[in-house]
Chains A and B, each alone.
Chain A
Amino acid sequence: MRKDLNIDVHHLTRVEGHGNIVVNMKNGVLQKAELDIVEAPRFFEAMLKGRNFMEVAIITSRICGICSLGHQIASLKATEKALGLEVSGQTKILRRILTDGATFQSNTLHALFLAAPDFLEVGSVFPLVNTHKDVVLAALRLKRLANDIGDVISGRAIHPIRCVPGGFTMLPGEKELKVLQERLKTEGMTDIRFIVDVIASLADKIPSFNRETEYISLTSEEEYALYDGVICSSDTGTYPVEKYLEITNEFVVAHSSSKHARFNRSSYMVGALARFNNNHQQLHPFAGEVAKKLGLSAPCFNPYMNTVAQLVEVAHCIENSIMLMDRLLSDGIRFEKPNQTPAQYGRGIAATEVPRGILFHDYTYNRQGNIVKANCIIPTGQNLENIDDDMKKLVPEIIDESKEEITHKLEMLVRSYDPCISCSVHMLDVEFIEE
């Protein structure tokens, strides 16, 4: 049996941002197995200080290009709570469709463009253009369709333009919404069915590894919670969003410019798998079928299955946005002036599910409507301690495999969390240290 192992993956590829994987085993004792976050800190909390409530969501959107919509939604909700701005039912439906579109887009990008090359044993999606052209084309069409939801409703999928405190600056036309809905029903459903069949045939490429942890997500009585809800822990039940600091308990570790988090155990997991474990009964029927086909059932303790849960959510988001568009179209879209007259000043705390997990924004405004204090807790940061814990259990289990295989499985593990490192530092490298 191997006694010594050193792995050092510098700047892990096919993840958002910069991280290293470092594993060090000496005389059969695992001394280090961690994900080092080496992304340059951004200091958004500091940038927000003194900014007016009308500017805040424009700035927080820039925390992350992939989850820019989610950061805007969490930001707008926190601002609206702080300032007592009520939003209309129509605004809430439009924001829900945007959240479905952003989850659909980001999950597709990760599962099919960043993670799928691992299942097909290539280094990127580009060689697949020649070997699996029909799959790449279907994946590209899905991604385009998801981005079109953002373009039609918010003006631009990356760094949306029309979402403002109190509502929207502009609304989509009923005609373009109908066209979009029709594309979701036809091209969207056809492509996701095809992709699910392809991924189902590759199911044996997903490593079998299990470690039960605490799963934290939003939950809601009304729906599979993405846009709104209360905090849910798989260990101890539900908590109001305002208690988020008691759940996240952020702490600084020297190997990560992103803070770590823990609640009831040494670590917890957020993201698609956590949402699936906590809320799977509320998935739409077709998404339930997809889960069955891909071999995902709750509770699932294999973090590699997070990628599969993301595909299940793609199916759910397509179905859900079609349903919400029906509701909008039957009520008729009315122009509404955004409600931007503050009724109060003070603190507002909001949470929303972004593709990588639960996101918190917490702002305090002064009487001029300017930020005096801001705090953002990002999903990838909350997952970091859980990733380290997974690695500490995984490495001894696979220690007799080749170093290349161990490295590959660790890279796949970190990638399966779909880490968004720019976000988390407002991160990733694998380092094996061989002596």
Chain B
Amino acid sequence: MSKPRIAFFDFTSCEGCQLNKLNLENDLLSLLELVDIVEFREAMDDTADTYDVAFIEGSISTPTCVKRIYDIRRRAKVLVSLGSCAVLGGVNAMKNLHPADWVQEAVYGEDKYLFPSMPVQPVSAYVKVDYEIRGCPMSTPEFLHVLKSIVLGRKPEIFDHAVCVECKLHENECVLDKGMFCLGPVSRAGCEAVCPENGQYCTGCRGLVSNANIAGAVGMLKRHGFSEQEARKKLQMYSSLNKLINEAECRHA
């Protein structure tokens, strides 16, 4: 069997997820024995016509992005979105919270018409996405897990439990009990609770679990002394496009 031909593409993002792949230092050479990297603009000159697996980093935010993502989907057997910008819209989507005109003007002033921009959307808003790798940045072990699964022809495991579960398994003191804010109870895990592990609160970079009880989470945060407004604002850092948050807003209005 010939090696799968894989490719990497970047859209609106910080390219930190791609960079994290180059940070596979120890495993990069064994990875290259498993697959052929046929297109990866950030690291190589070559391009290809078709791909067995296309990894997409970044969100869709300009008319050019839309054209490119349709084109890549047509030429890819499997399409994987990589990182929070591609899966959720990520931090980029926060600009959708402000009037478009104000956003453009805040950065470019009266020259705002030179650079068209649209509301930020995840990749799945435009094309079929076969698998998702979440995280800001994505974690390299998870990337390797998904890639290995695809190469072996089986479905990668999907994480849909709260960060609290992994945090408890790591025997961390509860972040909320320490008096800090935390989105762990409603945020999707798979990160090994890396932020609480390092003394930070969970910012929900992997989005929400699929059945998140937002009203309950907001109520709990209020009991820990945080305002509803603050809770909502922090939920919006990565998940501003999630309908659950918007519905919860209606109930509390």
- Give how many A residues have a beta carbon under 8 Å from the other chain's beta carbons: 58
Tell me whether A349 is interfacial, beta carbon within 8 Å.
no
Tell me whether B108 is interfacial, beta carbon within 8 Å.
yes
**What B residues does A284 contact at CB under 8 A?**
none
B197:A41 contact, CB within 8 angstroms: no
Find B117's partner among A16, A38, A41, A254 (CB 8 Å cutoff): A41
**What B residues does A1 contact at CB under 8 A?**
none
Counted as pairs of residues, one from A and one from B, with CB atoms less than 8 Å apart, the total is 165
A257:B115 contact, CB within 8 angstroms: yes
**What B residues does A43 contact at CB under 8 A?**
95, 103-104, 106-107, 117
A42:B92 contact, CB within 8 angstroms: yes
Tell me whether A129 is interfacial, beta carbon within 8 Å.
yes
- Give how many B residues have a beta carbon under 8 Å from the other chain's beta carbons: 60
Contact digits for B69-109, partner A, Cβ 8 Å, 1 yes 0 no: 00000000000000000000011101100100011101111
**What A residues does B62 contact at CB under 8 A?**
40-41
Q: Chain A's interface: helix, strand, loop or mixed, by majority?
A: loop
Tell me whether A134 is interfacial, beta carbon within 8 Å.
no
Report the minimum CB–CB distance from B47 to chain A (whole Å): 9
Provide the bound-state CA to CA distance between A51 and B232, in Å.
12
Interface-lining segment among A150-158, A311-319, A387-395:
A150-158
**What A residues does B91 contact at CB under 8 A?**
47, 59, 62
B237:A59 contact, CB within 8 angstroms: yes
A40 and B117 in contact (CB under 8 A), knowing A14-B42, A62-B14, A161-B200? yes
Tell me whether A235 is interfacial, beta carbon within 8 Å.
no
B234:A55 contact, CB within 8 angstroms: yes
Tell me whether A126 is interfacial, beta carbon within 8 Å.
yes
**What B residues does A261 contact at CB under 8 A?**
none
Tell me whether A114 is interfacial, beta carbon within 8 Å.
yes
Which B residue sits closest to A162, measured CB to CB?
B198
B194-233 interface (Cβ within 8 A of A)? 194-195, 197-200, 203, 230, 233
**What A residues does B32 contact at CB under 8 A?**
126, 129
Provide the bound-state CA to CA distance between A241 and B190, in Å.
42
**What B residues does A159 contact at CB under 8 A?**
16, 136-137
**What B residues does A81 contact at CB under 8 A?**
none
Report the minimum CB–CB distance from B219 to chain A (whole Å): 21
Tell me whether A325 is interfacial, beta carbon within 8 Å.
no
Find A46's partner among B103, B114, B198, B230 (CB 8 Å cutoff): B103
Contact digits for A58-83, partner B, Cβ 8 Å, 1 yes 0 no: 11001111101000000000000000
Report the minimum CB–CB distance from A50 to chain B (whole Å): 7
A240-284 interface (Cβ within 8 A of B)? 252, 254, 257, 259
**What B residues does A13 contact at CB under 8 A?**
41-42, 44-45
B41:A11 contact, CB within 8 angstroms: yes
Provide the bound-state CA to CA distance between A343 and B11, in Å.
41
B237:A55 contact, CB within 8 angstroms: yes
Report the minimum CB–CB distance from A61 to chain B (whole Å): 8
Which B residue sits closest to A142, measured CB to CB?
B25
Which B residue sits closest to A37, measured CB to CB?
B115
Report the minimum CB–CB distance from A116 to chain B (whole Å): 12
Tell me whether A164 is interfacial, beta carbon within 8 Å.
yes
Provide the bound-state CA to CA distance between A254 and B108, in Å.
11
**What A residues does B7 contact at CB under 8 A?**
none
**What B residues does A26 contact at CB under 8 A?**
none
Contact digits for A150-194, partner B, Cβ 8 Å, 1 yes 0 no: 000001111101101000111000000000000000000000000
A65 and B115 in contact (CB under 8 A), knowing A13-B44, A14-B42? no
B107:A41 contact, CB within 8 angstroms: yes
B6-49 interface (Cβ within 8 A of A)? 10-20, 22-23, 25-26, 28-29, 32, 37, 40-46
Give residues in B with beta carbon < 8 Å to A: 10-20, 22-23, 25-26, 28-29, 32, 37, 40-46, 61-62, 64-65, 90-92, 94-95, 98, 102-104, 106-109, 111, 114-115, 117, 136-137, 194-195, 197-200, 203, 230, 233-234, 237
- Can you list 24 A-B contacts with CB-CB less than 8 angstroms, sorted by A residue number? A14-B43, A17-B15, A40-B64, A40-B65, A41-B61, A41-B107, A43-B107, A46-B107, A47-B95, A64-B16, A65-B137, A66-B19, A68-B14, A114-B43, A125-B43, A126-B44, A129-B32, A155-B194, A156-B194, A159-B137, A162-B198, A162-B200, A164-B200, A422-B15
Give residues in A with beta carbon < 8 Å to B: 11, 13-18, 38, 40-43, 45-47, 49-52, 55, 58-59, 62-66, 68, 109, 113-114, 123-126, 129, 140-141, 143-144, 147, 155-159, 161-162, 164, 168-170, 252, 254, 257, 259, 422, 426
